[in-house]
Amino acid sequence: MERKIYSDLLAWKESDSRLPLILMGARQIGKTYTITEFLKGEAKKYLAFNLFDRPDICALFAEPIRPEEKLRRLALLEGGAIDFARTVIFFDEVQHSEDIIAALKFFAEADVPYKIICAGSLLGVKLNRFSKPFPVGKVEMLRMYPMDFEEYLWAAGCAALAEEIRACFAKNRAMSAPLHEKCLNLYRAYLCCGGMPEAAANIIKNDHDVLRFNGKILTDIRLAYLADMTKYVQSKAESAKIEAVYNSIPAQLGNRSSKFQYGEVRRGARSRDYASALDWLVSSGMVYLCDAVSAPRMPLRGYVRDGFFKMFLNDPGMLCNALGIRLPEIMLDRDFYYKGVITENYAASQLAAAGVPLFYWKGDNAQEIDFLIDTPQGVIPVEVKSGKNKASAGLGSFCRTFGCSYSLKVRKGNFGFVNNVRNIPLYALFCLGPDRGAEAARRSFKGHTLKSKSP
């Protein structure tokens, strides 16, 4: 499966910088697979070490000897000489060795042009609880997300359709009716499986038939997430709090308060009781935090309201699985209580994957704006609807009050621009991010493999 982050990996390899690369992201989103495919296609020589299976390498780097000697002994462990100047080294599950992470400073400053890639599950959590000196400024860090809808289209053999969506978005041109309906059907299938690569591959293999989709894949990932909550914690009590917060999120999204409520986790709970649990979940990549702002002004981060936020799961398929939604209800586009919640969580996941920070606005009355985004034209309000609802009285009032140049309405309907409201279909949210699709689509679906220059 082609992933957008491939182009970031390629840019890192071809850059003049010799900083080691750390790739962070939640479990089961395809980090190891993507890096391995990148190395196969772009590196003349590479070595990959999974530190979960290599305690000998962890022990070697823990020894109080010079880094050069550690590398010499690493070569001996591998049976001979390693040309480190021409070999990319991939340390997977690097969270198992703080010593290797600390050694990244040496790799960055050495005369030898080392190329080092690190990745691992819960790496964000581990780095936030690092006990050794972290090599600040000596590493390049990337964050990876579950597959967005555009990547799902690529995997489904619909790269040309993704390009058509981007063309319609760029020209604000309506998609033809048959293509629009096809995109909506693919979007609904994506809601059911989400962006976890194994789940997406399963539903694609079964022609997007949710009755044949193996939902156990998502159940197993969710159980693995819960099992991870015992790692890198100070006590069993902390892991219990992390699990309680995570399990409360689906219900929290369905309440009418429009904010995360600690009382929904445990009666009488306060923010100080769950601060570390929230930090753990956000750092893990399992959830996304969406901050409320007091005013839609740039920079939005400067107007965040302390203690007012929402939490979304990192993937719509994971939310559907946690809620136990009957997937045919989604494919048949029937109305049910959590339909709007799933749609809003989908929107949050697409914006996050596109690199758009998550903010929302809640007025003193019942008015609420689902998301706010910074653009060259100023702050733009974004309203997300699960149906074709065209009424935008709330958006119009908000724009008049705060002087927004226009607003975005994301819904089931087609592209269009009416009364200063730009309508985009739900399936086109990925267009708010950079267009990195054409190159990846050529690699995946036209039989052409792009090769970088050799080092």
Q: Which domains does the chain have, with CATH numbers?
A: 5-143 (3.40.50.300), 183-432 (no CATH)
pLDDT per position as a tens digit, 219-275: 999 999 999 999 999 899 999 999 999 999 999 998 877 789 888 898 888 888 899
Higher pLDDT, residue 419 or 163: 163
At residue 404, the 3 state secondary structure works out as coil
Confidence (pLDDT) at 176? 97
Higher pLDDT, residue 399 or 451: 399
Residue 351 has pLDDT above 90, yes or no: yes
Residues whose CB falls within 8 Å of the CB of residue 433, separated by 6 or more in sequence, listed in order: 148, 353, 354, 355, 356
Task: Say how far apart CA 231 and CA 64 lie, in whole Å.
Answer: 27
pTM for the complete prediction? 0.92
Looking only at the bridges linking them, the beta strands covering 378-384 and 371-375 are: antiparallel
At residue 121, the 3 state secondary structure works out as coil
Residues whose CB falls within 8 Å of the CB of residue 353, separated by 6 or more in sequence, listed in order: 145, 146, 148, 195, 430, 433
| DSSP letter string, 329-395 | HHHTT---TTHHHHHHHHHHHHHHHTTPPPEEEE-SSS-EESEEEEETTEEEEEEE-SS-----HHH
Task: Say how far apart CA 250 and CA 107 lie, in whole Å.
Answer: 43
User: What are the structure tokens assigned to 414, written together?
Assistant: 């087609």
Residue 436 has pLDDT above 70, yes or no: no
Confidence (pLDDT) at 390? 58
Residue 450 has pLDDT above 60, yes or no: no
Mean pLDDT throughout 96-111?
94
Confidence (pLDDT) at 392? 61
Task: Say how far apart CA 165 and CA 140 lie, in whole Å.
Answer: 32
At 323, phi and psi to the nearest 5?
-80, -15
Confidence (pLDDT) at 340? 93
Judge if the upstream peptide bond of residue 299 is cis by omega within 30 degrees of 0.
yes
At 45, phi and psi to the nearest 5?
-135, 140
Confidence (pLDDT) at 268? 83
The beta-carbon contacts of 337-343 under 8 Å, at least 24 apart in sequence, are 337/254, 338/250, 338/254, 339/386, 340/385, 340/386, 341/250, 341/253, 341/254, 342/191, 342/316, 342/386, 343/191, 343/384, 343/385, 343/386, 343/426
Mean pLDDT throughout 432-439?
68
* 325, 327, 329, 333: CA torsion to nearest 10: 120
Confidence (pLDDT) at 437? 55
Mean pLDDT throughout 162-186?
97
pLDDT per position as a tens digit, 279-336: 999 999 999 999 999 999 989 999 999 989 999 999 999 999 999 999 999 999 999 9
pLDDT per position as a tens digit, 375-391: 888 899 999 998 766 55
Q: What percentage of the chain carries pLDDT values higher than 70?
A: 94
Mean pLDDT of the chain: 91
116: DSSP letter: E
Residue 455 has pLDDT above 60, yes or no: no
In this structure, of 128-137, 184-193, 430-439, 444-453, the range with the lowest mean pLDDT score is: 444-453
Task: Say how far apart CA 324 and CA 438 lie, in whole Å.
Answer: 36
pLDDT per position as a tens digit, 23-41: 999 999 999 999 999 999 9
pLDDT per position as a tens digit, 63-86: 999 999 999 999 999 887 889 999
User: What are the structure tokens assigned to 62, written together?
Assistant: 């823990």
Confidence (pLDDT) at 448? 33
